[in-house]
Amino acid sequence: MPTHLENETELVAEARAGSAEAFTTLVNQYDRNIYRLALNITGNPEDAEDVLQETFLKAYTNLGRFEGHSRFYTWLVRIGVNESLMKLRRRHADRWVSLDAPVETDEQETLPREVEDWGENPEQQYARRELADILAEELRKLDPAFRTVIVLRDMENFSTEETAALLNLSVPAVKSRLLRARLKIRERLNKYFKRG
């Protein structure tokens, strides 16, 4: 049985040869990951849906340009990050909305479910959900440059080197942004817990 990576390479080759079915399989394999990435960067489910559609449309349109130097998934993530950041820029330019202003979304209801442990009692579940809501809110308040680095490194589990390559940054720049982002979130959480 082929491994996930071999399967990916095979599917990409078939898709490049014109197989719509192979490309659909790739979409089904990665659509949740790209949506989650876009949601964490944009902080808005509708924007994340748009980013998901644009990412796969661009991937399909530019499939001939994919050279295979990296994994197909890594290439998709790069497209998704760029589309997410463009969506934020357009949103800011179109509506002049501060990126620090909270976005009215249902994210607080959907994000915690990904980390929820069904073995916990209701009180523990509530405490976990509240903490996830607080973390999501603080993540949304970060500047997109910091938010993107923390999403890729801490939530999507890309290495520092992979994150640097995805964002066209140096490894020291990624480490610096990651440290600053973590410190900002820690500082805000400390204030919240001292208040509580």
Query: Over 120-138, what HEC string results?
Result: CCHHHHHHHHHHHHHHHHH
pTM: 0.60
Domain 1-98 annotated CATH 3.30.420.40: no
pLDDT bracket for residue 196 (50, 70, 90):
low
pLDDT single digits (tens) 81-128: 999 989 888 876 655 444 444 445 444 443 333 333 445 566 766 666
CA atoms within 13 A on the CB side of 89: 7
The alpha carbons of the chain give a radius of gyration, in whole angstroms, of 18
Q: Round to whole Å and give the CA distance between 79 and 159.
A: 18
Residue whose C-alpha is closest to residue 138's, from 188, 101, 194, 97: 188
Indicate the average pLDDT of the chain: 79
Tokens of 87: 């969506």
Buried b (16+ CB within 10 A) or exposed e, 96-107: eeeeeeeeebeb
H, E, C per residue of the chain: CCCHHHHHHHHHHHHHCCCHHHHHHHHHHHHHHHHHHHHHHHCCHHHHHHHHHHHHHHHHHCHHHCCCCCCHHHHHHHHHHHHHHHHHHHHHHHHCCCCCCCCCCCHHHHCHHHCCCCCCCHHHHHHHHHHHHHHHHHHHHCCHHHHHHHHHHHHCCCCHHHHHHHHCCCHHHHHHHHHHHHHHHHHHHHHHHHHC
pLDDT tens, position by position, 62-81? 888 888 888 899 999 999 99
Region 50-66: mean pLDDT is: 90
**Residue 115: its pLDDT value, please?**
35
Percent of residues, the chain, with pLDDT higher than 90: 32
